[in-house]
């Protein structure tokens, strides 16, 4: 594990693990980490014990981690079903799952199949300047669906998948809220 | 002479100007739109007047209301900052007509340089080299522009005649796509400047964007404060500026030659006050006049850091009719300065603007660090204005020291509540090409991405895994506790007082 | 050579040192006590080790634990900052014994200068003038000190032999009060330094406290970086420092003479690294050696602002065995710099220390402003350490510009949750004597008070009346609404969700 | 009124006051201000109408007041029965009273007579280093009652009035909390 040197004061020297520890499987970029939480100050990751000191700073979603003496600070916040971790100027998206639940889910047939439908949501509040597509039109990846003005910039919202435009819910000139659905691509 | 200044702007530049006025012992008047009631410029000014709804066309672009506020408050001068009314000759003229000093150039200079086509013709006559393009009156029709395009050659740029800052600008690679792009550019120009006229300009390949800061007083003295390297842009928006330029570097001859031309260009329009001459420079050190910005620039602080000249104070002194306090020989570049523009935008999602209430800020401080900002913890970033929320400027004895200092300052900077492009700047500071000073105006868009920049860096995924797991674990535990409490607690009223205590 | 530095300190100076290390590409190790788990130096360092309970004698004064952390982490050097272990020869020696570089002078220099009496004898032999006082071995009994007092004459000062920063210091005006004051001084010295020895020194009337910053490398090069004016003190604690000194001002001859003597004093103890020679200067420009601080000073940033030398980086380079990068001729004072020490103390209540959680900070920024701090919004100021929470430093082309800039920066600075002495500094900036540069070390205590300083200033009592009335009115209305709600609201559970929504 | 110029856009031009306004008497440094609150944006002080715009900033006890165009910002917080207003680096203590209540109180005999007793409270957390007085001892104004160590400074807590020391509640070496009563002077 890069960036962490395991010194002799970890768990390795003799302490016993209690029976009721929590185990998590945390996935970042398709890499799975098995994290076992022993107590407030001790964890085991992928079999290696670490001494941790973990606190939120100043009542903000900013967390300070001291792990085997190394000091890290990150912004950690949930977004959809992931955790966004902004650490040393780099963003990691982590999925944290209870190991037991994850196993059960896997046994039940794995992930739900992704639906083919895409709902274009306004990434920020703004005004609809143009809708260069119409209902039923075929679009390719990268085609502009809506032009939204916000912060004096005209932002082109593009299709992330090919498909057919469906259910256009806004008109040119409309003011829209953040996350408001604008149209769908089937 | 005036001793009260109205600042016809908002955000960091309004704060910057108020600070300069205060340090000169001048009274300050702020104007604000609906959403800006609690903005920093309103909090810092001696007086503040509401001028209308949040959209800038109803507030910060309402010259009539602003002049009315100046008269009501007895302000003898107006500083326009950048953007909004800064380059509107009619507004500058309206100020003069009302007997109010406009802290900027004469209306005729703004007009001459403001219409890019006229500007190019003017400096061209004065012997300053310009980039090939449509040099007419600027009000060309789509048909005329399409006709000229072939003779200029592709790739070329469509640019807003009244514009600046990349708005209304489009890159054209062939004739087929040009009609659609013309339409888009005109629409954006119309929205941004109330003027849909555009012109064409040849794209110089591998070009550097290097500009010279000019100061000119009303007594005929014109000097330059050296160059700024502004090649690092995305969608024609500058993201990082530095001075000296690593391209010009030790080539004092080139610096002097470009500086002389810049002074000549300013003189060609009888320029007074602070202004900037922008050049495109090709690999062979040929340079072409691009445009003159007849106002204070966003990136003026880097020049202040290496020359020691306070440009805004100098603007005000010039407007008061004083002689320049410096001659060309007094100006030396000491050390190196870099500015990163901190924008409220998400570098991980196509740099989409991000809005919301800033819940927490930790400002980088210490030796050699300057921050110019208009936001604070508790302030709401709204979609009405541009996304620049802060400028982080560092000085170092050498470029290497400045880069290392910028790295630590970026690492220290915490802004919560909105997304910012800080991670983008952090990756840029790690880029070998940036460190070597090897980049042109296309570098960010074509040869730099967060993803590839992250390759080869220390991978802290295991740490991120530990941290996200611990946060998730705590959340799970906390909700378990809440459920237990609910089961135990029979009196709902006790709950309320507990909440109250927790929030105190 | 080392590439990892342990910083054996806390607060703003630990942050300052970590920044310098980071900008030199060195790894950093922090140490912290119980209450400092979330301190800024812990957050900014690459590694952090807990060294004990909150009282400094159990943590930051535990040299053994700190050396253990250095060995555990592989830190090749220790920077002690100021205070705590910075001037403990035994600690410096213990580092060397363990093969760890001590970023500071040799233990022998610390010992020679650390015992004030020995220091005076040493520099006296080298021809440096000293203030009359007890020059013995320092371990004099109360009886011996009482006997010497008459020959020195009153008023005189009792000073801690091991001390600094005004701790264990008492002013004596007659023989009668001396026994009680001796007891108090010894008690305070014992508590602060673990050493109750004191000595006596004649008080120079109308004296200025002016000090010279020294840099010395291991190759025999010694230079000074000019003077700092530190006369503005309260209870022998410096409150404001500036450079140049308005007393020395244009007298280059005096500056050179004092600088030469300062260099000579440093050479007398074979000094290496950064240090400061403090002088008392009387009205007739006679100057006396007071003491040498064999460490970095709190007020070092003002010197950095006018000379461009990064003193902490230079300390580290010297400790790495490098030659000084500057000779005496390279050092020029450009412009003027002022530092205000922002303390968590209540200027309206006898400067009593103030503790609590800092709920909000708005940091002054912009041109010419530097802030060195160890606190942030959300941080708790505890009673365990000294009350310095921030240093506000400004630079201006002239003293007048620096004062005006400091005024605007103080006005911008908001710190909520603890009381600070910012209002004190604001009044000081308005004081005519300060503006004229006419003050001595007694000025603050004897001829300056917040109350009298406020006379003649614009009275904003009517505004304060409006604001307090409006806040009180809102509070009354709000509680009335709550009562009405209680009456209306039948479901207590609805209440809870309302609270939850409000707090989100 | 210094610092405020009354321009023509105040209340003077024709608007009528409603019947149910609140009136306050606000006292600063023995000077009384009669403040009448008409509505959200209008007040009358000592007979002169003003246009006001008043907001708390960023959810902090920091308030921004724009009054006839002049912009002020102050920290306003209650302390005991007063309001502390820190405005342009100057602290004002204001007592705000409902005009009606104040009149009633005045009719009932004015202020309560100040009691002769002084309770010395710890101004901050710290450790008691010395108590140079004892129960029953006579003290003069300025005599040191307790020495409290906090933030590495020894703070001498002095008698604000002459009297007799009474009820010493702490011992040397005790750690004390802020506002804890240490002793009394009768």
Helix axes B107-114, B89-97, angle to 10 degrees: 170
Q: Which of A41, A45, A37 lies closest to A2 in space, CA to CA?
A: A45
The 3-class SS string of D99-145 reads: HHHHHHHHHCCCCCCCCCCEEEECCCCEEEEECCCCCCCEECCCCEE
- Please name the fold of domain B4-103: Rossmann fold (3.40.50)
- Against chain B, the chains showing at least 3 CB pairs within 8 Å are A, C, D
Q: What does DSSP say about strands B77-79 and B4-7: parallel, antiparallel, or unpaired?
A: parallel
Q: Give the distance from CA D73 to its chain's centroid.
A: 18
Task: Work out the average pLDDT over B180-191.
Answer: 90
Task: Give the confidence band of D108 by pLDDT, cuts at 50, 70, 90.
Answer: low
Eight-state DSSP code of residue C329: G
Task: Work out the average pLDDT over C337-344.
Answer: 98
Residue D18 pLDDT > 50: no
**% of chain B exceeding 70 in pLDDT:** 93
- Taking the CA of residue D95 as centre, how many other CA atoms within 13 Å lie in the half-sphere pointing to its CB? 10
Task: Work out the average pLDDT over A46-60.
Answer: 93
Residue B138 pLDDT > 70: no
CA C378 to chain B, closest CA, distance in angstroms equals: 9
Chain B segment 108-147 residues within 8 A of A by beta carbon are none
CATH of the domain at D171: 2.40.50.100
Task: Give the confidence band of A5 by pLDDT, cuts at 50, 70, 90.
Answer: very low
Please report where in the chains the tokens 């996304």 appear, as a residue. B387
Task: Give the confidence band of D109 by pLDDT, cuts at 50, 70, 90.
Answer: low
Backbone angles phi, psi at B65, to 5 degrees: -65, -35
Q: How many Cβ atoms from other residues are within 10 Å of residue B173's Cβ?
A: 12
Q: What is the predicted pLDDT for the residue at B481?
A: 62
Locate the chain B residue with the closest alpha carbon to D66: B48
Q: Is the dihedral of CA B466, B468, B474, B477 positive or negative?
A: negative
Q: Do D58 and B48 touch (CB under 8 A)?
A: no
Which of D83, D86, D152 has its CB closest to that of C423?
D86
Task: Work out the average pLDDT over D144-168.
Answer: 84
Cβ(A51)–Cβ(A37) below 8 Å: no
Q: How far apart are CA C21 and CA B426, in angstroms?
A: 18
Q: How far apart are CA C245 and CA C333, in angstroms?
A: 11
Q: Are residues D75 and D151 in the same domain?
A: no
Q: How far apart are CA C301 and CA B368, in angstroms?
A: 11
Q: What is the predicted pLDDT for the residue at C481?
A: 62
Please state which of the ranges A111-125, B88-102, C42-56, C164-178 shows the lowest mean pLDDT. A111-125
Q: Are residues D130 and D169 in the same domain?
A: yes
Q: How many Cβ atoms from other residues are within 10 Å of residue A3's Cβ?
A: 15
Token pair listed for C346: 């209540």
Q: Does residue D58 or residue C62 have the better pLDDT?
A: C62
Q: How far apart are CA D50 and CA D41, in angstroms?
A: 8
Task: Give the confidence band of D8 by pLDDT, cuts at 50, 70, 90.
Answer: very low
**% of chain D exceeding 90 in pLDDT:** 39
Q: How far apart are CA C135 and CA C119, in angstroms?
A: 9
Q: Which of D153, D14, D32 lies closest to D99 in space, CA to CA?
A: D32
B428-449 per-position pLDDT tens digit = 999 999 999 999 998 998 888 8
Backbone angles phi, psi at D60, to 5 degrees: -115, 165
Average pLDDT across chain A, whole number: 82
Locate the chain C residue with the closest alpha carbon to B25: C404
Task: Give the confidence band of A1 by pLDDT, cuts at 50, 70, 90.
Answer: very low
Q: Are residues D30 and D59 in the same domain?
A: yes
Average pLDDT across chain C, whole number: 91
Q: How many Cβ atoms from other residues are within 10 Å of residue A142's Cβ?
A: 10
The segment with the largest mean pLDDT, out of A143-147, C301-305, C352-356, is C301-305
End position of a domain, from candidates D94, D114, D134: D114
**% of chain B exceeding 90 in pLDDT:** 74
- Against chain C, the chains showing at least 3 CB pairs within 8 Å are A, B, D
CA D39 to chain C, closest CA, distance in angstroms equals: 11
Residue A8 pLDDT > 70: no
Q: Do A54 and B470 touch (CB under 8 A)?
A: yes
Given 3-state DSSP classes, what are the helix, strand and coil percentages for chain D, each rounded to the nearest 5? 5, 50, 45
Average pLDDT across chain D, whole number: 82
Locate the chain B residue with the closest alpha carbon to D60: B378
Task: Give the confidence band of A14 by pLDDT, cuts at 50, 70, 90.
Answer: very low
Q: Are residues A5 and A21 in the same domain?
A: yes
Token pair listed for B131: 């980039």
Contacts of C84 (CB under 8 A, 6+ apart): C8, C9, C56, C60, C61
List residues bridging with C32 in a β-sheet.
C50
The CATH number of the structural domain formed by B132-202 is: 3.30.1490.20
Q: Are residues A43 and A134 in the same domain?
A: no
B234 touches chain A (CB under 8 A): no
Q: What is the predicted pLDDT for the residue at D76?
A: 95
Please report where in the chains the tokens 């004191």 appear, as a residue. C198
B298-324 per-position pLDDT tens digit = 999 999 999 999 999 999 999 999 999
B144-173 per-position pLDDT tens digit = 899 889 888 899 999 888 776 678 889 999
Task: Work out the average pLDDT over C329-338.
Answer: 96
End position of a domain, from candidates A114, A140, A160: A114
Q: Are residues D122 and D151 in the same domain?
A: yes
- Give the number of domains in chain A: 2
Backbone angles phi, psi at C406, to 5 degrees: -60, -40
Q: What is the extent of the structural domain holding D20?
A: 1-114
Q: How far apart are CA B104 and CA D172, in angstroms?
A: 69
Which residues of chain C have a CB within 8 Å of the CB of B22? 404, 407-408, 411
Strand order in the sheet with C388-396: C287-293, C273-281, C208-216, C222-234, C237-243, C336-343, C388-396, C369-373
Q: Are residues A121 and A70 in the same domain?
A: no
Q: Are residues A3 and A23 in the same domain?
A: yes
CA B368 to chain A, closest CA, distance in angstroms equals: 21
Instruction: Return the number of CB contacts < 8 Å for A and B.
Output: 155
Q: Does residue B258 or residue C490 have the better pLDDT?
A: B258
> Torsion over CA of D33, D37, D40 and D44, rounded to 10 degrees?
-60
Backbone angles phi, psi at C24, to 5 degrees: -100, 5
Cβ(A46)–Cβ(A33) below 8 Å: yes
Q: What is the predicted pLDDT for the residue at D74?
A: 96
Chain C segment 31-70 residues within 8 A of D by beta carbon are 56
C434-444 per-position pLDDT tens digit = 999 999 998 99
Q: Are residues A101 and A120 in the same domain?
A: no
Q: What are the CB-based long-range contacts (under 8 Å, 24+) for C189-196?
A: C189/C160, C189/C161, C189/C162, C189/C163, C191/D129, C191/D149, C191/D154, C192/C160, C192/C163, C192/C167, C192/C168, C192/D152, C193/C160, C193/C162, C193/C163, C193/C167, C193/C168, C194/C57, C194/C61, C194/C162, C195/C160, C195/C161, C195/C162
Q: How far apart are CA B68 and CA B75, in angstroms?
A: 10
Residue C295 annotated as catalytic = yes
End position of a domain, from candidates D91, D114, D137: D114
Average pLDDT across chain B, whole number: 91
Q: How far apart are CA C326 and CA C214, in angstroms?
A: 12
C333 touches chain B (CB under 8 A): no
Chain C segment 35-94 residues within 8 A of B by beta carbon are 44
Q: How far apart are CA B317 and CA B217, in angstroms?
A: 9
Q: Does residue C495 or residue A92 have the better pLDDT?
A: A92
Q: How far apart are CA B61 and CA B66, in angstroms?
A: 9
User: Hey, where are the domains in chain C?
Assistant: 4-103, 132-202
Residue C503 pLDDT > 60: no
Token pair listed for B269: 């329009």
Cβ(B218)–Cβ(B272) below 8 Å: yes
Task: Give the confidence band of C493 by pLDDT, cuts at 50, 70, 90.
Answer: very low
Token pair listed for B471: 């946060």
Residue A96 pLDDT > 80: yes
Task: Work out the average pLDDT over B25-47.
Answer: 97
SS3 state at A164: strand
Q: Are residues D136 and D73 in the same domain?
A: no
Residue C494 pLDDT > 80: no
Verify A-D touch: 3 or more CB pairs within 8 A. no
Task: Work out the average pLDDT over D170-179.
Answer: 87
Task: Give the confidence band of A108 by pLDDT, cuts at 50, 70, 90.
Answer: low
Q: Do B42 and D55 touch (CB under 8 A)?
A: no
Task: Give the confidence band of C135 by pLDDT, cuts at 50, 70, 90.
Answer: low
C368-398 per-position pLDDT tens digit = 999 999 999 999 999 999 999 999 999 999 9
Please state which of the ranges A104-108, B150-154, B360-364, C231-235 shows the lowest mean pLDDT. A104-108
List residues bridging with A118 in a β-sheet.
A185
Q: What is the predicted pLDDT for the residue at C138?
A: 61
Q: How far apart are CA A183 and CA B8, in angstroms?
A: 40
Q: Do A70 and C43 touch (CB under 8 A)?
A: no
Measured at the CA of B14, the angle between CA C414 and CA B20, to 5 degrees, comes to: 75
Q: How far apart are CA D77 and CA D61, in angstroms?
A: 6
Q: How far apart are CA B89 and CA B105, in angstroms?
A: 9
C373 touches chain B (CB under 8 A): yes
Q: For chain B, what is the radius of gyration of the CA atoms?
A: 25
Q: Which helix H or strand E contains C373, and what residues bound it?
A: strand C369-373
Task: Give the confidence band of C433 by pLDDT, cuts at 50, 70, 90.
Answer: very high
Locate the chain C residue with the closest alpha carbon to A74: C43
Phi-psi region of C225 (alpha: psi -120 to 50; beta: other; left: phi over 0): alpha
Contacts of D175 (CB under 8 A, 6+ apart): D125, D126, D127, D128
Chain B segment 169-228 residues within 8 A of A by beta carbon are 184, 187-188, 191-192
Task: Work out the average pLDDT over C288-296.
Answer: 94
**% of chain C exceeding 70 in pLDDT:** 93
Q: Are residues D19 and D82 in the same domain?
A: yes
Q: Are residues D129 and D166 in the same domain?
A: yes
Q: Which helix H or strand E contains B381, and what residues bound it?
A: strand B380-381
Best mutation target among C37, C357, C503 (most A Cβ atoms within 10 Å) is: C37
């Amino acid at each position: 594990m890069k960036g962490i040197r395991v010194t002799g004061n970890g768990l390795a020297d003799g302490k016993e693990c209690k029976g009721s520890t929590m185990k998590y499987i945390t996935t970042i970029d398709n890499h799975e980490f098995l994290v076992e939480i022993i107590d407030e100050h001790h964890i085991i990751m992928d079999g290696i014990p670490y001494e941790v000191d973990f606190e939120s700073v100043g009542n903000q979603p900013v967390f300070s981690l001291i792990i085997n003496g190394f000091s890290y600070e990150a912004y950690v916040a949930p977004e959809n079903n992931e955790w966004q971790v902004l650490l040393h100027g780099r963003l990691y998206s982590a999925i944290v799952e209870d190991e037991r639940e994850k196993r059960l889910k896997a046994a039940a047939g794995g992930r739900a199949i992704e639906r083919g439908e895409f709902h274009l949501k306004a990434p920020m509040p703004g005004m609809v300047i143009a809708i260069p597509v119409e209902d039923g039109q075929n679009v390719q990846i990268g085609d502009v669906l809506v032009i939204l003005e916000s912060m004096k910039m005209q932002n082109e919202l593009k299709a992330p998948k090919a498909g057919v435009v469906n259910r256009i819910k806004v008109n040119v000139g409309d003011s829209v809220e953040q996350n408001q659905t604008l149209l769908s691509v089937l | 002479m005036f001793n009260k200044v109205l600042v016809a702007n908002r955000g960091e530049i309004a704060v910057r100007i108020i600070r300069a006025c205060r340090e000169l012992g001048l009274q300050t008047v702020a104007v604000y739109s609906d959403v800006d009631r609690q903005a920093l410029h309103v909090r810092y000014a001696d007086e503040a007047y509401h001028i209308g709804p949040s959209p800038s066309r109803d507030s910060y672009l309402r010259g009539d209301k602003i002049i009315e506020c100046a008269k009501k408050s007895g302000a003898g001068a107006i500083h326009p900052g950048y953007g909004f009314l800064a380059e509107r000759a009619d507004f500058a003229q309206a100020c003069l007509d009302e007997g109010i000093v406009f802290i900027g150039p004469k209306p005729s200079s703004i007009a001459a340089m403001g219409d890019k086509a006229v500007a190019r013709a003017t400096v061209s006559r004065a012997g300053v080299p310009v980039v090939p393009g449509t040099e007419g009156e600027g009000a060309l029709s789509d048909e005329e522009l399409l006709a000229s395009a072939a003779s200029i050659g592709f790739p070329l740029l469509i640019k807003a005649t009244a514009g600046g800052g990349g708005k209304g600008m489009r890159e054209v690679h062939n004739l087929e796509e040009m009609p659609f792009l013309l339409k888009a550019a005109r629409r954006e120009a119309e929205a941004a400047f109330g003027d849909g006229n555009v012109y064409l300009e040849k794209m110089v390949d591998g070009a550097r964007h290097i500009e010279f800061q000019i100061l000119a007083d009303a007594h005929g003295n014109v000097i330059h404060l050296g160059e700024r390297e502004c090649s690092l842009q995305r969608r024609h928006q500058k993201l990082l500026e530095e001075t000296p330029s690593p391209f010009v570097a030790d080539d004092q001859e080139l610096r002097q030659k470009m500086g002389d031309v810049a002074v000549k260009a300013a003189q060609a329009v009888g320029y007074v006050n602070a202004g900037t001459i922008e050049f495109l420079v090709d690999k062979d050190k040929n340079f072409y006049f691009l445009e003159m910005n007849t106002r204070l620039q966003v990136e003026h602080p880097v020049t202040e850091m290496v020359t020691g000249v306070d440009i805004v104070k100098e603007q005000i002194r010039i407007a008061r009719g004083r002689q320049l306090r410096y001659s060309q020989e007094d100006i030396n570049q000491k050390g190196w300065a870099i500015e990163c523009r901190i924008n409220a935008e998400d570098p991980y999602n196509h740099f989409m603007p991000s809005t919301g209430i800033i819940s927490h800020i930790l400002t980088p401080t210490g030796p050699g660090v300057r921050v110019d900002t208009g936001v604070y913890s508790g302030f709401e970033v709204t979609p009405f204005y541009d996304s620049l929320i802060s400028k982080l400027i560092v000085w170092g004895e050498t470029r290497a020291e400045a880069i290392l200092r910028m790295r630590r300052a970026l690492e220290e900077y915490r802004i919560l509540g909105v997304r910012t492009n800080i991670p983008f700047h952090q990756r840029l500071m790690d880029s070998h090409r940036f460190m070597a000073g090897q980049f042109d105006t296309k570098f960010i868009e074509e040869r730099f991405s967060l993803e590839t920049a992250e390759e080869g860096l220390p991978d802290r995924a295991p740490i991120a895994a530990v941290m996200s797991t611990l946060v998730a674990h705590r959340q799970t535990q906390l909700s378990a506790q809440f459920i237990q409490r609910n089961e135990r607690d029979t009196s709902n009223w006790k709950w309320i007082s507990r909440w109250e205590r927790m929030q105190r």
